[in-house]
Amino acid sequence: MAMRNILLVLGNMFLLSVFFIKISVAQFQAYEITIDTEGRSIFGDSMEDINGNIIFCGVEDNLPYYEITQAFVLKVTFDGDTLFRVFNFGNDTMCRLGQILIDDNGDYLFFGAIGKQDSVYSFKEMKNLWVLKLDGNLDVVWDKRFEVAGDYWNPGYRVCSSGQNIYAAGDVDWWDGYHRKNFFMAKFDLDGDTIKTNYPFIDDPMQFPLGGVEGGVMERPNGQEGMMVIGGGFVVTDNFGIIEVDSNLDYTFTPL
């Protein structure tokens, strides 16, 4: 029987307890790994790789200068060995990692946002989608950034793999005297390059004053390429619902 891993995160996001249970031989391992004694780290995602290691990613904020954040990646083996990688791009850059996918070669794909501060008062720091590929040693294979459209910033999104592509959906911030959000979708190839983006309400942002990908993103059923986006506030309604997105990023909305 294959190894099964059970994870538990405790405390203020700085004390990580990892429990490994190997069902086939009734083995049990438990580790507590302290990665942040000041409670500034926030986990974005975790995933088990093809060798039974657990990969985490996240962000450390509240650094000495408020406009700085740094992203981190943590790898924990069944024996409790760890690899830890921090991404800090200087005193004028904010970045975060929020989701992980693992490709067929066992390399790790991380998705987040990155950018430089625009103004002390505008908070328009992260203008770019950030897609990062690391190998098993957490060395960088490639690092790619894609600027979001128009006057939007701060992309927050979820991803899934479908066919030979990766699909993303989420929201971006915008400002017209009020802090608002707008919906966007993107399609990547397996090399992390954008094939297509779609901002359905870019010409009329007030059509999408609320909303968010609250329930996540998943593959379409029956082997169809694309994604199912679960959330609320889509297409001029506060209803919770599903957006079904095809391979061209065309979509239909079904309220729940």
Where residue 49 sits, what CATH number does that domain have?
A: 2.115.10.20
What is the domain count for the chain?
A: 1
State the Cα angle at 235 between 229 and 238, rounded to 5°: 85
Specify if 169 maps to a domain. yes
Specify if 229 maps to a domain. no
Specify if 206 maps to a domain. yes
Can you name the residues that pair with 160 across neighbouring β-strands? 167
Determine what percent of the chain falls in helix, strand and coil, rounding each to the nearest 5: 0, 55, 40
Residue 84: C-alpha distances to residues 13, 27, 36, 44, 219 (Å): 16, 25, 12, 15, 30
Range of the domain at 194: 41-213
Q: Residue 168: what pLDDT?
A: 95
Specify if 138 maps to a domain. yes
Q: Residue 205: what pLDDT?
A: 52
| CB of 95 closer than 8 Å to CB of 110 | no
Specify if 91 maps to a domain. yes
Q: Residue 64: what pLDDT?
A: 54
Give the integer Cα–Cα distance in Å for 74 and 68.
Answer: 20
Q: In what order do the strands lie in the sheet with 27-34?
A: 4-10, 15-22, 27-34
Each of the 256 residues of the chain gets a pLDDT tens digit; together they read 333 443 434 333 444 444 444 444 445 566 666 666 566 777 889 899 999 898 999 888 755 555 567 899 999 887 778 899 999 888 778 889 999 999 999 999 999 999 876 654 445 578 899 999 999 999 999 999 999 988 888 898 999 999 899 999 988 887 776 677 788 899 999 999 999 999 887 666 555 544 566 668 999 999 899 999 987 665 555 567 788 999 999 988 887 7
Q: Residue 241: what pLDDT?
A: 79
Specify if 66 maps to a domain. yes
Burial of 103: CB neighbours in 10 Å, binned 0-12, 13-18, 19+: middle
Specify if 17 maps to a domain. no
Specify if 163 maps to a domain. yes
Q: DSSP class of residue 25?
A: G
| CB of 149 closer than 8 Å to CB of 129 | no
Q: Residue 171: what pLDDT?
A: 85
Closest CA to 249 of 182, 194, 192, 190: 194
CB atoms within 10 A of CB 121: 6
